[in-house]
Amino acid sequence: MFNIILNHVQTQMSSNLHLKISGLMGSTSLACWIVLLMPQLIEQWRLKSAEGIAIGFISIWFLGDFFNLIGALWAHLLPEVIFLAIWFCIADFLMIFSYFYYTRIYKKKSPHHKKHHSHHHSHLEGEREFIDVNESTPLSSTESSHSRRRRSSTLTDIAMEPQYHSIFVKYILPIIFVISCGTIGFLLSNPNNSENQPVDDLPIENPIKLGPQIMGYLSAFLYLGARIPQILQNYKKKSVFGLSLLFFLFSTLGNLTYALQILFFRFDKQYILLNLSWLLGSLGTIFEDSIIFIQFYMYRDNVVSNDDVDEEGR
């Protein structure tokens, strides 16, 4: 009798642990999605250019988010899920607007676009010179050329001149911040509604319906296809100039924690099938993002832009 009670308590604790891990992963994923597009929008604002992003990438991604919103509404998901789907569409619209503004309107408004573009090329060349300063360089000359640009570590300074900051400040610190926000959000939430109920006993409120499933698989297909234009553009230009690495880091972290949220919540066949489209979309996107990470490494020293490609073509 004691062993039966002990096994029941252990099962209950294990189930509650799974729920807590799932909740933590979901909260972290939510924090990633909220700030996902911010690094790329800031990069385009900083460079006054959207040459790095492929229009096919953000257009197909917008369609994926649109069908995701339809599926969420159709399946009568939680208001938080619907709100997040709406935010995705709004953020995608901002990205598309930014692209057309800097590739169409800004070029016409700014007659010195080419000069401005050349300035950014020399700016990136200066970045490499800054990184490659050797020990024989006099300290006084180094300070005279760069000290004015490194006086502060404010968010504006980091956003406008990221080349003068360390990898920790540019990438690791923002990721730690997002994970911390997700953790705090989870701790401030109220998990009591499901904490005392074993995972295997939690009912699936909505059975598998054909309509939302079609929207889910269509959305996953579009998410997977969205990266292809970006990968091809990077390969053609042999450059990732204008792309934000932090944007893809947030994407990978968000998709990973989203998949773990599903897998830790339940393990039965019906629940996995219900969420299979979202799992395939998340895990497949992580694989494609890994290709883009390789391109960041391969083309890290190249600053070729679309203007350069057009000029070479002429």
* pLDDT digits 0-9 by tens, 65-121: 999 888 888 877 767 778 888 988 999 999 999 999 998 888 777 655 554 554 555
Q: What is the pLDDT of residue 113?
A: 52
User: 303 vs 15, 120, 239, 243, 247, CA distance in Å?
Assistant: 51, 9, 6, 11, 18
Nearest partner of 263 among 250, 274, 252, judged by Cα = 274
Give the pLDDT band (50/70/90) at residue 312. very low
At a CB cut-off of 8 Å and minimum separation 6, what does 86 contact?
69
Cα dihedral sign, 272-175-86-48: negative
Q: What is the pLDDT of residue 68?
A: 86
pTM: 0.77
Q: What is the pLDDT of residue 147?
A: 46
pLDDT in tens, 245-283: 999 999 999 999 988 988 888 877 888 888 888 888 889
Mean pLDDT for the chain? 77
Give the pLDDT band (50/70/90) at residue 140. very low
pLDDT in tens, 205-237: 556 677 778 888 898 999 999 999 999 999 999
Q: Give phi and psi for 223, each to the nearest 5.
A: -60, -45
pLDDT in tens, 52-80: 999 999 999 999 999 988 888 887 776 77
Nearest partner of 24 among 151, 139, 178, judged by Cα = 178
pLDDT in tens, 194-204: 444 444 444 44
CA 252 – CA 246 distance, rounded (Å): 10
Q: What would the 3-class secondary structure string for the chain be?
A: CHHHHHHHHHHHHHHHHHHHHHHHHHHHHHHHHHHCCHHHHHHHHHHCCCCCCCHHHHHHHHHHHHHHHHHHHHCCCCHHHHHHHHHHHHHHHHHHHHHHHHHHHHHHHCCCHHHHHHHHHHHHHHHHHHHCCCCCCCHHHHHHHHHHHHCCCCHHHHHHCHHHCCHHHHHHHHHHHHHHHHHHHHHHCCCHHHHCCCHHHCCCCCCCCHHHHHHHHHHHHHHHHHHHHHHHHHHHHCCCCCCCHHHHHHHHHHHHHHHHHHHHHCCCHHHHHHCHHHHHHHHHHHHHHHHHHHHHHHCCCCCCCHHHHHHHHC
Q: What is the pLDDT of residue 16?
A: 80
Q: What is the pLDDT of residue 191?
A: 54
21 vs 1, residue with greater confidence: 21
Indicate if the pLDDT at residue 308 is higher than 70: no
Indicate if the pLDDT at residue 244 is higher than 90: yes
- In 174-193, which positions are buried (b, 16+ CB within 10 angstroms) versus exposed (e)? beeebbebbeebbeeeeeee
Percentage of the chain beyond pLDDT 90 is 39
Mean pLDDT score, 236-240? 94
Both tokens of residue 110?
A: 């700014």
Give the pLDDT band (50/70/90) at residue 135. very low
Give the pLDDT band (50/70/90) at residue 7. very low
Q: What is the pLDDT of residue 214?
A: 86
Indicate if the pLDDT at residue 303 is higher than 60: yes
